[in-house]
Amino acid sequence: MRTHMKQGWHLTMKHFYIIIMLFLYELIWGFFLYRTIEGITVPLLKRFPDSIGSGTSAVQLFLTEAQFQLIKTDLIRPYVWLFCGLLAGRIIVTPFLNAGLFHSLHHMSDEKGTKFLSGIRAAWKSVALLYLAETTLTLLPAIWLLPRALTSLLASSSMMEFAQLAGPWAGAWLAWAVLIHLLFLSMQFGAVAGTGTLRSLWSGIANFLPFAGISLLMWGIGALLSMTIASVSLLWAGLLALILHQGYQLLRTIMKVWTVAAQYDMWQSKQV
């Protein structure tokens, strides 16, 4: 594991300009997503009853009205289409970025610098098809799960009760998403390397445990780093917290590229 992490870090530092570009992409995406959510939630929060001046009956009336608006009217339909549009935009852009990054990681052994743009031209079609298939399989359970989750939410008397009802299904969906992501990531590596998607799929299945191990380890490091920075920001509010919050966005992008580079080095070491 340490060898793959070290080699992944070496590859990551060679792609620093790509990290800056991905950071700007995430920053722009996050800004538009934040403004969209803000435009939806702020008007709703302004109508929420004052918890001090109002009793529980006012809050219950607010929730009853919300339930009626969600079920009996098409109020939510424009917001659903808006989020679908944002998701579609991200789905379109992400395969191009992945193709460039994966291709560049594969050709860094040539010692001729990064090959991000040439990678987009060479591999975007195969990576896009695999990414689309991965996204479809990942979101497929939502057709069955989301309507039942909404019904459970409206029928639950508390968030704890809703969590107990939806928790097992959410955990199973997360496990399914991780499985699909790792298998299709192996196939995308194979498509970029020219070894073939089916052969790479079999390699991903045969070497799933070490591949999943390095992935979970890197994700765990990222989660621990995120919790540490969030804790420091809460304890030391002020200029330091602001600097940490802004710098963390770049650090998170570095962690993403490092994770992919470590996964690629693990995958490459298992090829024969």
- Residue entry with tokens 């538009």: 32
Helix and strand numbers, DSSP H then E, in the chain: 10, 0
pLDDT digits (tens, 9 = 90+) for 13-51: 888 888 998 888 888 887 887 777 777 776 666 666 665
Report the range of poorest mean pLDDT among 3-17, 28-42, 50-64, 141-155. 50-64
Q: For residue 138, what pLDDT band results from cuts at 50, 70 and 90?
A: very high
- pTM of whole model > 0.85? no
Q: Identify the domain containing residue 192 by its residue range.
A: 2-269
The amino acid occupying position 108 is: M
pLDDT in tens, 168-198: 888 999 999 999 999 999 999 998 888 888 8
Burial class for 250, CB neighbours closer than 10 Å (0-12, 13-18, 19+): middle
Higher pLDDT, 84 or 172: 172
How far from the centroid of its chain's Cα atoms is residue 39's Cα? 22
User: Which of 142, 107, 144 shows the shortest CA–CA distance to 122?
Assistant: 107
Q: How many domains does the chain have?
A: 1
Residues contacting 183, CB < 8 A, separation 6+: 201, 204, 205, 208
With a cut of 70, say whether residue 69 has pLDDT above it: no
Residue 23 CA to residue 106 CA, distance in Å, equals 21
